[in-house]
Amino acid sequence: MLKNMFSGLAKVKVSGLNLDRIFTILKKKNIPLKNIKRTTKKEIFFVIQASHLTKVKESLDVPCYNLSVQKYYGMPFILQFFKKRIGLFIGAILFIVTTLIINSFIWKIEIYGIESLTKEQIVQTLSQAGVSVGQGLNTKNIEGIENYLSQQLEQISMVSIIKKGTSIIVNVKEVRVPSIIANLGQQTHLISGFEGVVTQINVVQGTPLIKVGDVIKTGDALIAGYFDNIDGTKTSCIAMGEVFARVWYSSSINFDTNKTEMIRTGNKVENTSMSLFGTNFNIKSVQNPYENFEIENKQKYLFKNNMLPFKINKTFYYETEPILIEQDFEENKNKLINEAMLLAREKMPINLISNKEFTTIEKNGTIYTVSAYIECQMKVDTPKN
């Protein structure tokens, strides 16, 4: 079997009449046949050694037979196949070798999970451990590299390194320091951003400077950014907490029952001028003799068809005198209350809901003052260094 593979085999198809005679002819030539398969009366397949193919063709070179080679087997033909395609074969081998070499190096470092640390810090520490782009990585050393990162960077509580192709993936979990400890030494106060009366105090960190019921103004300190120690010293911190207060939004409108209006007396004087292309020509000019007056201007074209754009400009001065008119407050009271309340609501933040709304009316001589108040419960603290 091995001898046949190394010498080469050929599968032959013969078609024609009297196919049984083929066996007698080839036996006389000492040509052995293998894997004989007769498909029809006029067609037969068999395998011979490739070295006997010429003899077979010569022996069966008669009009009643048609011979064709279906397939070649064996090492000689495999070698011939690769010999004809030696460039492709070498290229495939080089590609496989190059891929294996490239995959043994690191070409990309991916880092996930960092917060306070930077990518540059991780990359620099990896480089110190012998891991960097363009260098090889033995997967057996990964555990040692993970330990080195944890020892060199105290912010790391857990780290894992995975090699995936030509990349290494570094997953980091940092140590979480409670905000109270992290903020020790820093100082921020909570101050009031509004005027009102304190209704609730929730202190998380710091020292409260007010109590429920205190009246506060904008800018007042509410929670100080320090702790009182037993020895009388103070430790700075960032003030944390919430302060709620009743806050009022208000608006006022004045109404005078004695209203002065200027009324025309019926006396007037008139100035007339003509203009053409922006140039004015006075036709009638009279000095205004009135101390109190109203002005009214009128203008029209001299010609209806505007053949020449002459314009007639007239200015009327009407004499006026003050007349005292008495207004009834009761008739305008509801309108004034609604206007004052509307103005107060416009001052409120959109997300606030009023707890109470009320109005007051004060009289000073002939002037009434209508004031609208809206009471709200809201958070009033704001941080300040």
The verdict on 196 and 132 lying in the same domain is no
The verdict on 42 and 72 lying in the same domain is yes
* pLDDT computed for residue 336 by the predictor: 94
The verdict on 14 and 70 lying in the same domain is yes
What residues make up the domain containing 149? 108-174
* Residue 72 half-sphere exposure toward CB, CA atoms < 13 A: 15
Q: CB atoms < 10 A from the CB of 58, how many?
A: 9
Give the orientation angle of helix 142-152 with respect to helix 119-128, to 10 degrees: 120
Could you tell me the pLDDT band of residue 201, with boundaries at 50, 70 and 90?
A: very high
Give the pLDDT mean for 53-76: 81
Per-residue pLDDT at 254 exceeds 60:
yes
Rg of the chain over Cα atoms, rounded to whole angstroms, equals: 54
The verdict on 185 and 165 lying in the same domain is no
Residue 234 located in a structural domain: yes
Per-residue pLDDT at 92 exceeds 50:
yes
Give the pLDDT mean for 261-270: 90
Could you tell me the pLDDT band of residue 2, with boundaries at 50, 70 and 90?
A: very low
Token pair for 355: 């707890």
240, 206 contact by CB (below 8 A): yes
Residue 98 located in a structural domain: no
Q: How many domains does the chain fold into?
A: 4
Residue where a domain stops, chosen among 79, 100, 122: 79
The verdict on 159 and 213 lying in the same domain is no
- Backbone phi, psi, residue 227, to 5°: -110, 145
Per-residue pLDDT at 78 exceeds 50:
yes
Give the pLDDT mean for 120-134: 85
302, 293 contact by CB (below 8 A): no
Residue 363 located in a structural domain: no
The verdict on 167 and 187 lying in the same domain is no
Token pair for 287: 């000095």
User: What value does the mean pLDDT of the chain take?
Assistant: 84
Per-residue pLDDT at 275 exceeds 60:
yes
Residue where a domain stops, chosen among 221, 246, 271: 246
Residue 366 located in a structural domain: no
